[in-house]
Amino acid sequence: MRQYPGSAIILGALIICASLLGCSEDEPDFPPDFVDIRDKSIFVAGGSGRAGRYIVERLDARGLNFTPMTRSKEAAIERLGPAFAEMNWVEGDVRNAEQMRTLLMGKDMVICVIGSRETEGPNGPEFVDYQGVANLVDAAVAADVEHFVLLTAIGVTDENHPLNKLLGNALIWRFKGENQLRESGLTYTIVRPAGLVDEPSGEQGVFLDQGDNWQDIFRGTITRGDLADVLIASLETNHTHNRTFEIVNRTDLEPGIWRETLPNLVSDQELASEAGDNSP
């Protein structure tokens, strides 16, 4: 398992500084690896889902400019509660390529946390986890999006993963979606979490790994809140550009220390070169 030592760059402090509009009367002197997203338009595909709600809550709390997408605004608000009613929801279906092209026009960044809930048929992995992602990627290319962050899962590179037999080859289709993004020419980040849970976030450390060593973390979990923090932070540093990495909570790591390990991520091109193939 690839290990990542700490670094001197602490993105968390920079984010706090940014939220306060700088530590002085002038604009803060950010290092060149930091990306200021305060003026960016962020599109959240899957914003009403179990992971998406944590993302839109955090974006809203920071006063950022974001547009969450859901299939049904009425159903989303009924499920999530009245606190979500005033958000700038748009209705859309990722399986509709033309609709995605329309919705993404004028957007600067995308966080995609969509996922199929059925194992076959039009709502299954092929049409959501693969074709839906492909439609979003094509729309992002047409809209000249600056950065596309995609949520997938650990184990996607292993065709013999046991979950493929149970979930209609969901991981295989997710990996195909990853490759659509890699080959698009967009600046991207791909995040593969361990099992997602709704436990309190920020109480455990987050371990970052690369190479899809899924057997090592198969029984591990990560809170959806910690996942949301990682996905949003991926927009705020070029150290995640064109990188794929896995994440899992670990009790032996200090909460928040993961921000210091982001600069040590290796690009997919470097990983493929090391492995002698094209499978990050």
**CATH number assigned to the domain comprising residue 57:** 3.40.50.720
pLDDT grade for 51, boundaries at 50, 70 and 90: very high
How far, in Å, are 66, 135, 159, 195, 279 from residue 171 at the CA level? 29, 18, 8, 13, 14
Q: Which residues contact 245 (CB under 8 A, 6 or more apart)?
A: 190, 191, 192, 208, 209, 210, 265
Residue 32's pLDDT band (cuts 50, 70, 90): confident
Determine the pLDDT at residue 101.
Answer: 98
Domain that holds residue 155: 33-275
Please indicate, yes or no, if residue 267 is contained in any of the structural domains: yes
Of 212, 256, 267, 195, residue with least CA distance to 230: 256
Domain membership flag for residue 81: yes
Q: Is residue 92 part of a domain?
A: yes
Per-residue pLDDT, 276: 74
Does the pLDDT at position 55 exceed 50? Answer: yes
Tell me: pLDDT of 25 over 50: no
Comparison of pLDDT for 39 and 280, the residue scoring more: 39
- Other Cβ atoms closer than 10 A to 202: 11
- The 10s digit of each residue's pLDDT in 191-246 is 999 999 999 999 999 999 999 999 999 899 999 999 999 999 999 999 999 999 99
Nearest one of 241, 235, 247 to 268, comparing CA atoms: 241
* Residue 17 confidence (pLDDT): 43
Q: Is the confidence at residue 5, as pLDDT, over 90? A: no
pTM, to two decimals: 0.89
CA angle 174/156/148 to nearest 5° reads 50
DSSP letter, residue 254: -
Residue 89: exposure state from Cβ atoms within 10 A (0-12, 13-18, ≥19) = buried
Residue 4: inside a domain, yes or no? Answer: no
Residue 84 within any structural domain of the chain: yes
Q: Is residue 97 part of a domain?
A: yes
Averaged pLDDT for residues 70-87: 96
In a domain, 263, yes or no: yes
> Is 99 inside a domain boundary?
yes
Q: Cβ(236)–Cβ(34) under 8 Å?
A: yes
Number of domain units in the chain: 1
Q: Which helix (H) or strand (E) holds 178?
A: helix 170-182
CB 57, CB 163: distance < 8 Å: no
- Write the pLDDT tens digit of every residue in 148-182: 999 999 999 999 999 999 999 999 999 999 999 99
| pLDDT tens track for 112-144 | 999 998 999 999 999 999 999 999 999 999 999
Number of H helices, E strands in the chain: 12, 10
Q: Following DSSP, what letter does each residue of 12-36 receive, concatenated?
A: HHHHHHHHTT-SSSSPP---TTB--
For the four alpha carbons of 16, 19, 20 and 23, in that order, the dihedral sign comes to positive
